[in-house]
Amino acid sequence: MRSIVAVLICLFTLPLAFADTASRPEKIGALARLEPHNGIYTLAGPPSFISVRISEMPLKEGQRVRKGDVIAIFDMANVRRLEVGIARTEVERAKVDALEKKREFDRRQILFRDKSISQESFYDQRDASERAHIALEKARLNLKRAEALLNKMIIRSPVDGMVLGIYARDGEAVSETTGIAEIGDVDHMEAVAEVYETDIKYVKKGQSAI
């Protein structure tokens, strides 16, 4: 059997026009399939070390989506939201503490300059202000981590397009190897044709197809 080479064309049959038509076919037939120009995006679950189930899948096959639309929400999302809320509270608390410590340090700096307080008192407050600042940065880092974990529990569309297929339902366990849905930009399609290797020499760049 002749080997097959995949090439991109516009439609399914290629009419040919050559000076020496006696030795060349007038047209080439090829099997082809239509695909989104930028490919099909297969959405999957979170990393396999995280065990989750789908709690919500609000979209249906054939539905139009915008980039960022929610495709699926996993059951751990509520837990992650609580963790984000706690982390935000810690950030706000650390902000207040850092601000208070800084104000007190600024006040003691003036007093120390005027020799109204001891060097020990000045340095104690300086160290307290630095510790409060470090605690604030740590709280902010914890918030970023919590938000990242929450984002893993919500699958969003990477592009504007259409839901081409849904392969998981509410309550199903999923992982990074489990296909949940496929998304594609159907407004920009192309045909992928399989042309026999012996015919590929007759195909030229820019050639039309019907």
CATH number at residue 129: 1.10.287
Its domain, for residue 5, covers 1-37+188-210
93 and 141 share a domain? yes
Decide: residue 108, CB within 10 A, 0-12 exposed, 13-18 middle, 19+ buried: buried
Tally of domains in the chain? 3
130 and 84 share a domain? yes
Question: What is the spatial distance between Cα 153 and Cα 89, in angstroms, rounded to a whole number?
Answer: 21
103 and 203 share a domain? no
87 and 141 share a domain? yes
64 and 89 share a domain? no
167 and 129 share a domain? no
67 and 165 share a domain? yes
147 and 105 share a domain? yes
CA 146-149-152 angle, to 5 degrees, is 155
82 and 117 share a domain? yes
Q: pLDDT tens digits, residue range 89-147?
A: 999 999 999 999 999 999 999 999 999 999 999 999 999 999 999 999 999 999 999 99
Q: pLDDT tens digits, residue range 147-180?
A: 999 999 999 999 999 999 999 888 888 888 888 9
70 and 161 share a domain? yes
Locus of tokens 């297969």 = 42
207 and 144 share a domain? no
**Is residue 10 scored above 50 in pLDDT?**
no
101 and 115 share a domain? yes
Numbers of helices and strands, H then E, in the chain: 2, 13
Structure-token pair, residue 206:
């820019």
